Chains A and B, each alone.
Chain A
Amino acid sequence: GAGVSQSPRYKVAKRGQDVALRCDPISGHVSLFWYQQALGQGPEFLTYFQNEAQLDKSGLPSDRFFAERPEGSVSTLKIQRTQQEDSAVYLCASSPWGGEQPQHFGDGTRLSIL
Chain B
Amino acid sequence: AQRVTQPEKLLSVFKGAPVELKCNYSYSGSPELFWYVQYSRQRLQLLLRHISRESIKGFTADLNKGETSFHLKKPFAQEEDSAMYYCALIPAGGTSYGKLTFGQGTILTVHP
A contacts, CB < 8 Å to B: 3, 31, 33, 35, 40-45, 48, 50, 55-56, 91, 93, 95, 98-103, 105-108
Contacts and interface: CB of A to CB of B under 8 A. Distances in A.
Q: State the 8 A-B residue pairs at the shortest beta-carbon distance, nearest first.
A: A42-B102, A98-B97, A105-B44, A98-B98, A100-B32, A102-B46, A107-B43, A42-B104
Interface in B26-69: 32, 34, 43-46, 49, 51
Contacts of B102: 35, 42-44
A106 B90 contact: no
Nearest to A100: B32
Given A43-B44, A100-B96, 5 more contacts: A41-B104, A41-B105, A45-B99, A100-B32, A103-B46
B6 to A, nearest CB: 8
Contacts of A101: 98
Interface of B: 4, 32, 34, 43-46, 49, 51, 86, 88, 90, 92, 96-105
B43 A106 contact: yes
B104 A99 contact: no
B99 A42 contact: no
A108 B38 CA distance: 12
B97 A56 contact: yes
A40 to B, nearest CB: 8
A39 B105 CA distance: 11
A100 B99 contact: no
B86 to A, nearest CB: 5
B26 to A, nearest CB: 15
